[in-house]
Amino acid sequence: MQFRDLRKQYEHNKSAIDDGIKNVIESADFISGQAVYELEKQLAEYVGVKHCISCANGTDALQLSLLAWGTGKNDVVFVPDFTFFSSGEAVSAVGAIPVFVDVNMDTYNISAKSLEKMILKVISQGTGTPKAIIAVDLFGQPADYIKIREIADKYSLFLLEDGAQGFGGKILSKKACSFGDISTTSFFPAKPFGCYGDGGAIFTDSDEWAALLRSYKVHGKGESKYDNVRIGMNSRLDTLQASILLAKFPVFIKEELDAAQEIALFYSSRLKDMVIVPAVLQDYFSAWAQFTIRVGNRQQRDGLKKYLSDSGIPVMIYYQKPMHRQRAFDMDLYHDDDYPNTNTSCETVLSLPCHPYLNRWEIQFVVDKICEFMKGSQDV
């Protein structure tokens, strides 16, 4: 059993992927080729925004977005404490200050209440100038954009949706990667919609920001690549990766999202009395980047992890360490007491294999092993 089975996925999509790769190689159209523009067009249409700007990875996508807003020294960007390192790294990389915010215990997404508390704290302590909020669609579920947008408007902050894990999710019919003033995603192979290397994309309705993003991602280009009007990055999605994504896209939207949903529902219905299963809010649809359960304490989580691993079930801990405890950041800025939910989550969560190519027998086996362990640990 694989945590995410990219080989099975390739078998399922083989002829379309092979044809796409062959076309790129035969046309020698490796950088900024036709497939890149076709992909951007299809993704913008799917998400329902005016512009999709592809780039080299999801981390660059965040950094480029912050650059387009002129984010830099003394600016504060609010970031959930429970996320992958990139969400905060991008802020520090442009010279701004990441201020971490606790998450909700049910969805693991940024807490509106903690966000407002941290904004007021930054203002009263003069930590810097509040500039933007990064909301992450953690594990595939969009953040609470209704409340987060209200707060962004109240304090005149930009809203950046980090949809690296969320592409394919939605709230009612509004798709993930359309909730931010700018939104980003990652095509890292293990993501819900992944390529065969690194890749990323940025989405926005703003013509002005789209033009800036297209400049920043190609060495700050002006009229041409050799006319450079700002310091930028080299962050292009290569044509081979775009061709792979184009080949996988119809299957992703027609089959894979529903298949992952079915698996998640099966897990939830069978496990809900044993462990805490992920809460999906009403009218929300998760892309199921992860199916993450929670148990009572660290000892139980570590025991369950070992039990499942010993039974041949691949599991992962996303995430072991809160952002505010990462040594790369200025840890003096943060106080452990501000992050009770993240601290607890890091000690008690466990992500199970969850991908569209798992079969019923495999899912049942995971369920049985979890039940076995949990019953045993209750009997102790």
Ligand X SMILES: Cc1ncc(COP(=O)(O)O)c(C=O)c1O
Is 44 a residue that touches ligand X (CB under 6 A)? no
Is the distance from CB of 200 to CB of 237 less than 8 angstroms?
A: yes
Q: Which two tokens stand for residue 342?
A: 């993240």
Is 164 a residue that touches ligand X (CB under 6 A)? yes
Is 58 a residue that touches ligand X (CB under 6 A)? yes
Is 200 a residue that touches ligand X (CB under 6 A)? yes
3-state secondary structure 61-74: HHHHHHHHCCCCCC
User: What minimum distance in Å lies between the beta carbon of 259 and ligand X?
Assistant: 21
User: What minimum distance in Å lies between the beta carbon of 133 and ligand X?
Assistant: 14
CA distance 217 to 223: 14
- Per DSSP, helices labelled H in 217-359 are 239-251, 257-271, 298-310, 340-348
User: What minimum distance in Å lies between the beta carbon of 142 and ligand X?
Assistant: 12
Is 57 a residue that touches ligand X (CB under 6 A)? yes
Give Cβ neighbours of residue 241 (< 8 Å, ≥ 6 apart).
187, 195, 196, 197, 198, 199
User: What minimum distance in Å lies between the beta carbon of 83 and ligand X?
Assistant: 5
Is 162 a residue that touches ligand X (CB under 6 A)? yes
For 356, phi then psi, to 5°, come to: -65, -10
User: Based on CB atoms, which residue is closest to ligand X, 84 or 158?
Assistant: 84
Is 76 a residue that touches ligand X (CB under 6 A)? no
Give the residue, chosen from 165, 183, 286, 348, that forms a contact with ligand X under the rule CB under 6 A.
Answer: 165
Stretch that binds ligand X, among 28-36, 82-90, 91-99, 266-274 (CB under 6 A): 82-90
User: Based on CB atoms, which residue is closest to ligand X, 183 or 204?
Assistant: 183
Is 238 a residue that touches ligand X (CB under 6 A)? no
Is 161 a residue that touches ligand X (CB under 6 A)? no
**Interface pattern 112-141 for ligand X (x via CB under 6 A):** ------------------------x-----
Among 268, 280, 276, residue whose Cα is nearest residue 109? 280
Is the distance from CB of 171 to CB of 178 less than 8 angstroms?
A: no
CA distance 15 to 175: 29
Q: Is 35 exposed, middle or buried (0-12, 13-18, 19+ CB in 10 A)?
A: buried
User: Which amino acid, residue 269?
Assistant: S
Give the residue, chosen from 69, 78, 84, 307, that forms a contact with ligand X under the rule CB under 6 A.
Answer: 84
User: Based on CB atoms, which residue is closest to ligand X, 202 or 271?
Assistant: 202
User: What minimum distance in Å lies between the beta carbon of 96 and ligand X?
Assistant: 16
Stretch that binds ligand X, among 55-63, 252-260, 265-273, 274-282 (CB under 6 A): 55-63
Region for 139 from its dihedrals, namely left if φ exceeds 0, alpha if ψ lies in -120 to 50, beta otherwise: left
Stretch that binds ligand X, among 53-61, 107-115, 255-263, 331-339 (CB under 6 A): 53-61
CA distance 369 to 122: 46
* Three-state DSSP class for residue 372: helix
Interacting residues toward ligand X by CB under 6 A = 57-59, 83-84, 86-87, 136, 162, 164-165, 186, 188, 198, 200
